[in-house]
Structure 1
Amino acid sequence: MNNKLIRRTFLVGTLVVFTLSMLQLSAGYQKDRELSYNVNNTEKTQLSTISPVYSFFESLSLNKNGKEVNKIRPEVIPGGQSIGVTLQTKGVLVVGYAPISGQNGKQSYPAKESGIEIGDIILTIDGKKALNDFQVAQEIDKKCQDNQTIELEIKHNDAIQKKKIRPVYCSETGRYRIGLFIRDEAAGVGTMTFIEPKTKIFGALGHVITDIDTNDQIELSQGKIVESTIYAIEKGLKGDPGEKIGTFMLDSRFSGVINKNSDSGIFGVYEGSVNNPFYTEAIPIAWKSEIKVGPAKIYTVLKDNTIEEFDISIEKIMKYRADNKNMIIRVTDQKLLEKSGGIVQGMSGSPIVQDGKIVGAVTHVFVNDATRGYGIFIEKMLEESEILSKAAVAPLGGFFLFIRKYK
């Protein structure tokens, strides 16, 4: 047997053993149910399935045809900036029922009685597109001046339905209503994870934004980010996650348009000046196979809009989880522990750097231990942002504060 054939046989044998080992290990990761809290208070927590094995060694990976490829390693600038986030939903989201007091004093719920449920999305009112909560209220009142029945087109569990409703005149507000709490946007504070200065692509949060009432993923119509400033920190306690308290900056040095709200974070294109004093130029990303247990750094804002560097330790790496809980991290920096108690709401997206490479972002805090939490691989965020898919491949690797309105 010649040397080439020996090497080929060894490689095939290694792949088979490696793949079988990972399939066996995946069952162990499904038991890893750490009680955690999304650090922007927005996530619907559930155990995700395990992804197949695609990468091993350092930069080697397998393409769909089973051939080895060597990935071009992207470089990005780590974030750490505090950002204000606003999301406009597609249609208007139903978040609760509001009783209507009629002229006889009797309370009624016309929309609920028609079969509309919390979590449904109102798309049209008598054929007119639902744009926002104020416009929906106006349309309902205008259509019902003559006590008419209206037809709502709604999205319910991914199915489009039509509901006929007879609104009731509300003696308290002096207008016709259908008895719903609805919302058309969400707003809150989080952290920028990275920017790619050539394409102007940004990524932040490291997890999906869900509605605080329905706990469902917000279907994005449009969204924006701006710079925010932090004026107070509420320390995390056992059973009570802390939070950053901040406001949007009117004279923001940068802004951005959000074009994706996904399980791996929010992504879009920015403009303006996004600066990190610790990194004036882009640094390489780390593949998940290169991340190791041990010391690392995170970058985040605790006061005003000043990014600071803090020590953490990566305690566990879970390469084959399909969700955004890929690393368990612990805050070891005494300054951060004194100021915040560890990880708090609003730190979602704080970049993690190890050995000169950006490896991921903070996503969750453990409810009963604010010093520990989860992080997502930067590789996942760049895949979702499509930066990785745009790279050449050669043959042969918050918290969010919502305002409830009723209509």
Structure 2
Amino acid sequence: MKNWKKQLVGITIAFMVLVGALAPPVRNFFELPAEQQVVLGDEFQLAWRLPSPLERQITWILYDPVDGSKVARASGGFSTTEAGDLHLQLKLFGIIPLKNINIQVVKPVAVVPAGHSIGILLHTQGVLVVGEAGIETSDGKRSYPARRAGLEVGDVILALNGREIEREEDLADLIHRAGRDGKGVELLVRRGEREFTVRLRPEYCRETGRYRIGLYVRDSTAGVGTLTFYQPTTGVYGALGHKVVPEYGSSALEITGGRIVAAAVQGIQQARKGQPGEKIGLFSTNPSFSGSIQKNTTFGIFGILSRTPNPGPYGNPVPVALNSQVRPGRAEILTVVSGEQVEVFEAYIERVLPQQYANGKGLVIRITDPRLLGLTGGIIQGMSGSPILQDGKLVGAVTHVFVNDPIRGYGVLAEWMLKESGLWEEGGEQETTGRTLVELPGSLFLPS
């Protein structure tokens, strides 16, 4: 009988422990991130939902992570007075260790949220094969020497006969000269991570009067997007919120620089379910602002402005929110729908994702502004980089549209963009997603 009672007591205790461990407040407590940040001068609080009687029994003990000395003892949040690192240990009744958290106190950063439309011109290493252009031979047939040699759309031609290729005009000229002299050419080609050489002989095209190899190539990529922010004293800017991938998705095409210029929105193709919309942009040879492109990364393009934009709805710098400060709720985005005028539109942050990896998908957002929905149908290409603000802080930028639900999409958290720009430090690793998404550079027309 005694053994039976002991077993019953043991089962009851085990059941109570299991139920307690599965309770949302307890799970929430133990799922607190092991590393957190707080802006200097702000009060540090933990995002937990413990019952008040239990919360009062948890003691906060702060240590210097360098020498391990105790800095402070508290019950609840604390205010930060200087930048640096702290180690927080949470103890039940001041005795039983429950959780260790490393805290980084960072200096506040403020930038000007932009929303201006930009034309993006990226220069690349080599020239990208974007299509085939058959050669009209003397007997009226079409010939494709490059195809016969094994070249494919998406390949990058790096050099011809040992000479590096930077412009499509240079490649065409060298091919014509070799053909005119009755010589073949050797091309250095990159496909994915592999480099190889191909040999072929240019053929005379009756239609163009030149020697060719039967390809369309491009030495740069262009598009329209949105300027997210800039720092007025240094000119440092961030835009797009995602990496620019050249046409045909060639990951082998290396970016060697480029520039951004002010663009005007000339038209809009509305988004529909299954069919992304887009902005149609145009820029002039005398833009109101411009800048260099120094980095093309997972979190967008970054560089230095040589001229700053005309002030938009936010003419002065605003604080940049840490990831932990962003919450589901009402927000606004800045973007251009006509000409060069930046406007404010209502949006809603549906989810804040625990973005511990380097990707542009830290927010799920929904467009709620009736006027914007009427004009665009939701999130469209060219809106990429449009700043998202909440509670007077820059919290992120639009990056992707859900193809089958264009009023919703992803945004990148502003903290990641600021770190990539060099205004804050740190980085991360790439994470993949199974959703059907479209990155959002729009169409750009260059004046002839």
Q: Which amino acid aligns with 1:121?
A: V
Residue 207 (structure 1) aligned to one of 232, 239, 242:
242
Identity rate, percent: 42
Residue 385 (structure 2) aligned to one of 345, 349, 353:
349
Q: Which amino acid aligns with 2:363?
A: M
Give 1:227's aligned residue.
262
Give 1:96's aligned residue.
131
Q: Displacement, 1:100?
A: 2.2
Quick one: distance in 2 between partners of 1:133 and 1:251? 25
Please give the residue correspondences for 1:36-75 in structure 2 after superposition, counting only pairs within 5 Å: 55-56=35-36, 58-59=38-39, 68-75=103-110
Quick one: distance in 2 between partners of 1:113 and 1:157? 20
Give 2:376's aligned residue.
340
Change (3 A) 1:204 1:217: farther
Instruction: Check conservation: 2:193, 2:252, Cα contact below 8 A.
Output: no
Q: Displacement, 1:58?
A: 4.2
Give 2:340's aligned residue.
305
Query: After alignment, is 223-232 or 308-317 more displaced?
Result: 223-232
Quick one: distance in 2 between partners of 1:100 and 1:225? 36
Tell me if 1:367 matches 2:410.
Answer: no
Measured against aligned partners, the alpha-carbon deviations of 1:329-376 in whole angstroms (never above 9, x if no partner) come to 011111211222221111110000111110110011111222111100
Quick one: distance in 2 between partners of 1:386 and 1:159? 32
Residue 304 (structure 2) aligned to one of 269, 272, 292:
269
Residue 233 (structure 2) aligned to one of 179, 191, 198:
198
Give 1:164's aligned residue.
199
Change (3 A) 1:170 1:272: same
Instruction: Check conservation: 2:279, 2:443, Cα contact below 8 A.
Output: no
Measured against aligned partners, the alpha-carbon deviations of 1:194-229 in whole angstroms (never above 9, x if no partner) come to 001222111111111112224547521221111111
Q: Secondary structure at the match of 1:303?
A: coil
Quick one: distance in 2 between partners of 1:170 and 1:402? 29
Q: Secondary structure at the match of 2:180?
A: coil
Measured against aligned partners, the alpha-carbon deviations of 1:75-113 in whole angstroms (never above 9, x if no partner) come to 111010111111121111112233223224443322222
RMSD: 2.5
Change (3 A) 1:62 1:147: farther
Measured against aligned partners, the alpha-carbon deviations of 1:34-87 in whole angstroms (never above 9, x if no partner) come to xxxxxxxxxxxxxxxxxxx67436458989xx9643122221110101111111
Tell me if 1:113 matches 2:148.
Answer: yes
Instruction: Check conservation: 1:84, 1:227, Cα contact below 8 A.
Output: yes
Q: Secondary structure at the match of 1:252?
A: coil
Q: Displacement, 1:183?
A: 0.7
Instruction: Check conservation: 1:208, 1:217, Cα contact below 8 A.
Output: no
* Residue-pair matches, total: 348
Q: Secondary structure at the match of 2:365?
A: strand
Q: Secondary structure at the match of 1:337?
A: helix
Q: Which amino acid aligns with 1:257?
A: S
Quick one: distance in 2 between partners of 1:54 and 1:356? 28
Give 1:39's aligned residue.
none
Which structure has the bigger radius of gyration? 2
Q: Which amino acid aligns with 1:400?
A: S
Instruction: Check conservation: 1:93, 1:184, Cα contact below 8 A.
Output: yes
Quick one: distance in 1 between partners of 2:152 and 2:85? 45
Give 2:209's aligned residue.
174
Q: Displacement, 1:166?
A: 1.5
Instruction: Check conservation: 2:37, 2:103, Cα contact below 8 A.
Output: no
Instruction: Check conservation: 2:224, 2:443, Cα contact below 8 A.
Output: yes
Query: After alignment, is 271-280 or 84-93 more displaced?
Result: 271-280
Q: Secondary structure at the match of 2:407?
A: strand
Quick one: distance in 2 between partners of 1:195 and 1:54? 32
Give 2:316's aligned residue.
281
Q: Secondary structure at the match of 1:155?
A: strand
Instruction: State the TM-score, normalizing by the size of structure 1.
Output: 0.79
Quick one: distance in 2 between partners of 1:175 and 1:383? 50
Change (3 A) 1:268 1:18: farther
Q: Secondary structure at the match of 2:108?
A: coil
Quick one: distance in 2 between partners of 1:114 and 1:57? 56
Structure 2 unaligned runs (5+)?
A: 1-26, 45-83, 87-100, 427-440
Q: Secondary structure at the match of 1:352?
A: strand
Q: Secondary structure at the match of 2:294?
A: strand
Quick one: distance in 1 between partners of 2:158 and 2:29? 46
Instruction: State the TM-score, normalizing by the size of structure 2.
Output: 0.72
Query: After alignment, is 330-339 or 153-162 more displaced?
Result: 153-162
Please give the residue correspondences for 1:73-84 in structure 2 after superposition, counting only pairs within 5 Å: 73-84=108-119
Change (3 A) 1:296 1:97: same
Instruction: Check conservation: 2:282, 2:444, Cα contact below 8 A.
Output: no
Instruction: Check conservation: 1:95, 1:214, Cα contact below 8 A.
Output: no
Instruction: Check conservation: 2:379, 2:401, Cα contact below 8 A.
Output: yes
Change (3 A) 1:150 1:387: same
Q: Which amino acid aligns with 2:230?
A: I
Instruction: Check conservation: 1:349, 1:363, Cα contact below 8 A.
Output: yes
Q: Displacement, 1:328?
A: 0.7
